[in-house]
Amino acid sequence: MTEIKIPDTTNWGEPDWGIRVPPRDGGGIDLRDCFVGQAGEVPEDAPPHWGLAQRGSVVDPHTPHFDFPVNKKAVVWAENIADLVEQAKAGKWDATTDIPWQDLKPLPEDLERATCQICTFMIQNEYLALYLPAKLLTRVDPRFTEVILFLASQVDDEARHVEVFTKRALANGGGLQYVSAATEWSLKSLLNQEDFTSASFLLHILGEGTFMELLMFLEEVAPDPVTAQIFKLARQDEGRHVGYGVSHLTYHLKHDPALVLQLYQAAEARAAFLRQAAGASPFVQHALAVLAGGGSAPEQVAEGRERVRELYREMHATRVKRLVQVGFQRGMAERISNLHGGAVPNFM
Ligand SMILES: [Fe+2]
Ligand SMILES: [Fe+2]
């Protein structure tokens, strides 16, 4: 047998030894406790020659460059990123077994039709919310491990949302309904975003922030408790996605206040595109009014439309509050929220 020849590692650096992360009381080893030794040193700039090695590994200097384009801590990091990863795992649910499907009762046809129409629309948005972070994830340097794990959990959450809304549309005597090209143009303009920061701003803050309000509204006006439960579980997941957006943009803006202008321009460019290419889906507008009014009689639809208008006002107020929380001046926050609300009646 030939001898295994260990290379001379004199100039590579020293690996850690003797690290012992203890399990928490009854809770296993928590990611929040893993910022120890060299594994705990998150670089400001990820060195290109570390390939797919974990932070804290000692890497052969001849490792090929992978050139992950998102390689600055300020761009992706959030102070609470390890909390968010642990919360994401604790919050997982199963679209097969965690929804009391057996309790679903037949509904009046107009309410079932509206529910199926909303589910059809939700699925389009959920696909966008799955594909966009999946695309962004592959660009982030693995030295920002916690960010990778978080974005992977988001992709997993959105896959579950696609699944649960599909199942709801098929479960109760209806089926999948209409898709408007306007919604597809709107979502395409999000999926086409290439810059991590602009994409994350448009998705995590403006898109999912507004979508979360929509889910809360749908939970309120849902025609039955099983459907309400679905909207509630999806909203809880969205809360984490928005939470990441808020935390990491706050962090980024602290390191680079000039970013405000880039983000404003991203919102403006998308709004300009949407004004000429997209509009509200009439199918979705009608379905929302039917659910909010409790039926499809003209006076119910009229009452529903009034509630939806109220929802738009609340969405605007919440967006402004969130933008101010991230670090925008109030006037700028108002302008960005108006751009989003005025041009994106499709919510995302
Ligand atoms: Fe979602
Ligand atoms: Fe989401």
Domains of the chain: 73-343 (1.10.620.20)
Separation between Cα atoms, residue 342 and residue 348, nearest integer Å: 12
Question: In angstroms, what is the span from residue 113 Cα to ligand 1's centroid?
Answer: 21
**Structure confidence at residue 46 (pLDDT):** 95
Ligand 2 centre distance from Cα of residue 213 (Å) = 12
Question: What one-character-per-residue DSSP string does 137-156 give?
Answer: HTTB-TTSHHHHHHHHHHHH
The pLDDT assigned to 16 comes to 98
CA 157 to ligand 2 centroid distance, Å: 7
Centre of ligand 2 from the C-alpha of residue 238, in Å: 4
Residue type at 4 in one-letter notation: I
**For residue 278, what pLDDT is reported?**
66
Residue 111 is encoded by which pair of tokens?
Answer: 């309410």
The ligand placed nearest to the CA atom of residue 205 is 2
Average pLDDT (203-227) is 96
- Cα of 1 from ligand 1 centre, angstroms: 56
Handedness of CA 327, 330, 332, 337 (dihedral sign): positive
Q: To the nearest whole number, what is the mean pLDDT of the chain?
A: 95
Cα–ligand 2 centroid distance for 234 (angstroms): 8
Res. 276: pLDDT tops 90: no
How much of the chain exceeds pLDDT 70, in percent? 99
Find where tokens 């992950």 sit.
Answer: 68
What integer pLDDT is reported at residue 5 of this predicted model?
94
**How does pLDDT run across 128-148, given as a tens digit for each residue?**
999 999 999 999 999 999 999
Q: pLDDT at position 340, please?
A: 85
Q: For residue 10, how far is its CA from the centre of ligand 2 (angstroms)?
A: 47
Report the pLDDT value the prediction gives residue 220, as an integer from 0 to 100: 98
| Position 343 pLDDT exceeds 80 | no
Q: Which ligand number lies closest to the CA of residue 200?
A: 2
How far is the centre of ligand 1, averaged over its atoms, from the C-alpha of 53 (Å)?
31
Could you report the per-residue pLDDT of 22-73, keeping only the tens digit for each? 999 988 999 999 999 999 999 999 988 899 999 999 999 999 999 999 999 9
pLDDT single digits (tens) 157-207:
999 999 999 999 999 999 999 999 989 999 999 999 999 999 999 999 999
Report CA(20)–ligand 1 centroid distance (Å): 37
The pLDDT assigned to 279 comes to: 72
Q: What are the φ and ψ backbone dihedral angles of 45, each rounded to 5 degrees?
A: -125, 125
Contact yes or no for 125/211 (Cβ under 8 A): yes
The mean pLDDT of 232-253, rounded to a whole number, is 97
pLDDT of residue 235: 98
Give the rounded percent of residues in the chain with a pLDDT score beyond 90: 89
Instruction: Measure 94 CA to ligand 1 centroid, in angstroms.
Output: 14
8 C-alpha to ligand 1 centroid (Å): 50
Ligand nearest to the CA of 126: 1
Helix axes 181-191, 259-277, angle to 10 degrees: 150
In this structure, which ligand is nearest to the CA of 208?
2
Instruction: Return phi, psi of residue 30, to 5°.
Output: -100, 135
Per-residue model confidence as pLDDT tens digits over 106-131: 999 999 999 999 999 999 999 999 99
Q: Does residue 345 register a pLDDT over 90? A: no
Q: List CB contacts of 62: < 8 A, sequence separation 6 or more.
A: none
Q: Output the CA angle 160-162-163, nearest 5 degrees.
A: 60
- Two tokens at 147? 């960010």
Q: Which ligand is nearest to the CA of 158?
A: 1
- Of 71, 14, 24, 64, the C-alpha closest to 47 is 71
Residue 143 Cα, ligand 2 centroid: separation in angstroms? 24
> Which ligand is in closest contact with the Cα of 165?
1
CA–centroid distance, residue 210 to ligand 1 (Å): 12
Is the pLDDT at 344 greater than 60? The verdict is no
Using an 8 Å Cβ cutoff, are 186 and 129 in contact?
A: no
